[in-house]
């Protein structure tokens, strides 16, 4: 069942989203060669808790940390640890925040130090795919319109989209209906209605779309071919006036 949110509930999800966006920006201020992903995770977790939020990934089905920190060929669900960032890496910082019972979800992939032109292009195209998907988040459209727009933009640029994981409803819980795949057919899938809140999150591979999950930790999701991946995510509400993007990259990009 797809839970619709009132205007007031959407305002509350926006307050949660604002804290989440500030937390990701706070982590971003410390992303540089030589720091570890566990250092960044602890710093981000402290920021969320200091501001009254709960990082929902921690303890979710046994996930051990507040943030997913995914480096290079790790697509998503990287577990923070003694992993030292180095010049030319990418780091995706993914987090879900509960503030006063309202839940938001966002991810930003940061370049670490100086990155290659290939890496810059992967990050740019993945972020473009996110906003192209968000443009489709209008009442009367269908989930497949979002999925198709994301897939087309990535594939026309020579990249592929992951099939095993997808975007989702959000707002009262981390994962609600509907699923929002990053591939699909226009005009198909659930109808988008005013009051729906969803997380749109293209997970994009520079090479083939195939991924593998770590046997050791059960979480870390890597590209099979070892090529780079990127991931951007916003929480968005479908309103009478079109998409209202609740999370924001403004603080990350204007600091
Ligand atoms: N942003 C991720 C998602 O959309 C958060 C889940 S990570 C987990 O599913 F570690 F909590 F599973
Ligand atoms: Co998500």
Q: Is 79 in the pocket of ligand 1 (CB under 6 A)?
A: no
Q: Is 63 in the pocket of ligand 1 (CB under 6 A)?
A: yes
SS3 content of the chain, % helix, strand, coil (to 5): 30, 30, 40
pLDDT band at residue 53, thresholds of 50, 70 and 90?
A: very high
Q: What is the pLDDT of residue 255?
A: 73
Q: For residue range 4-24, what is the model confidence (pLDDT) as tens digits?
A: 999 999 999 999 999 999 999
Q: What is the pLDDT of residue 7?
A: 98
Write out the residues surrounding ion ligand 2, Cβ under 5 A: 105, 199, 201
CA–CA separation, 113 and 102 (whole Å) = 35
Q: For residue range 108-123, what is the model confidence (pLDDT) as tens digits?
A: 999 999 999 999 999 9
Q: Is 68 in the pocket of ligand 1 (CB under 6 A)?
A: yes
Q: Is 57 in the pocket of ligand 1 (CB under 6 A)?
A: yes
Ligand 1 atom closest to the Cα of residue 56 is 11
CA 147 / ligand 1 centre spacing (Å): 19
Ligand 1 atom closest to the Cα of residue 57 is 11
Ligand 1 atom closest to the Cα of residue 95 is 1
CA 67 / ligand 1 centre spacing (Å): 9
- Starting from the CA of residue 164, give the closest ligand: 1
Residues whose CB falls within 8 Å of the CB of residue 68, separated by 6 or more in sequence, listed in order: 57, 76, 77, 78, 79, 92, 93, 94, 95, 107
Q: For residue range 122-169, what is the model confidence (pLDDT) as tens digits?
A: 999 999 999 999 999 999 999 999 999 999 999 999 999 999 999 999
Cis amide bond preceding 161, omega within 30: no
State the pTM of this model.
0.98
Q: For residue range 217-248, what is the model confidence (pLDDT) as tens digits?
A: 999 999 999 999 999 999 999 999 999 999 99
Mean pLDDT over the full length of the chain: 98
CA 97 / ligand 2 centre spacing (Å): 11
Crossing angle of helices 117-135 and 143-156, in 10° steps, is 160
Q: What is the pLDDT of residue 10?
A: 98
Q: Is 144 helix (H, G, I), strand (E, B) or coil?
A: helix
pLDDT band at residue 214, thresholds of 50, 70 and 90?
A: very high
Q: For residue range 172-199, what is the model confidence (pLDDT) as tens digits?
A: 999 999 999 999 999 999 999 999 999 9
DSSP per-residue codes, 11-37: HHHHHHHHHHHHHHHHHHTT--TT-BH
Residue with the smallest CA separation from ligand 1 atom 8 is 57
pLDDT at 106 over 80: yes
């Amino acid at each position: 069942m797809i839970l619709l949110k009132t205007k007031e509930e959407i305002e509350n999800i926006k307050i949660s989203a604002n804290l989440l966006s500030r937390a990701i920006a706070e982590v971003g201020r410390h992303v540089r060669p030589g720091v570890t992903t566990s250092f960044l995770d602890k710093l981000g977790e402290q920021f969320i808790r200091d501001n009254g939020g709960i990082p929902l990934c921690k303890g979710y089905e046994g996930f051990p940390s507040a943030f997913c920190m995914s480096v290079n060929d790790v697509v998503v669900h990287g577990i923070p640890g003694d992993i030292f960032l180095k010049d030319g890496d990418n780091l995706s910082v993914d987090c879900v925040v509960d503030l006063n019972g309202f839940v938001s979800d966002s991810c930003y992939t940061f370049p670490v130090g100086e990155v290659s032109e290939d890496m810059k292009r992967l990050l740019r195209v993945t972020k473009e795919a996110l906003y192209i998907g968000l443009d489709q988040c209008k009442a009367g459209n269908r989930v497949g319109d979002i999925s198709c727009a994301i897939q087309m933009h990535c594939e026309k640029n020579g990249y592929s989209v992951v099939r095993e994981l997808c975007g989702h409803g959000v707002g009262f819980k981390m994962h609600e209906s509907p699923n929002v795949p990053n591939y699909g057919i226009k005009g198909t899938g659930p109808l988008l209605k005013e009051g729906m809140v969803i997380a749109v999150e293209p997970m994009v591979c520079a090479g083939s779309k195939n991924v593998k999950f770590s046997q050791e930790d059960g979480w870390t999701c890597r590209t099979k071919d070892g090529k780079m991946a990127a991931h951007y995510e916003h929480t968005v509400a479908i309103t009478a006036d079109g998409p209202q993007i609740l999370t924001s990259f403004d603080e990350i990009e204007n600091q």
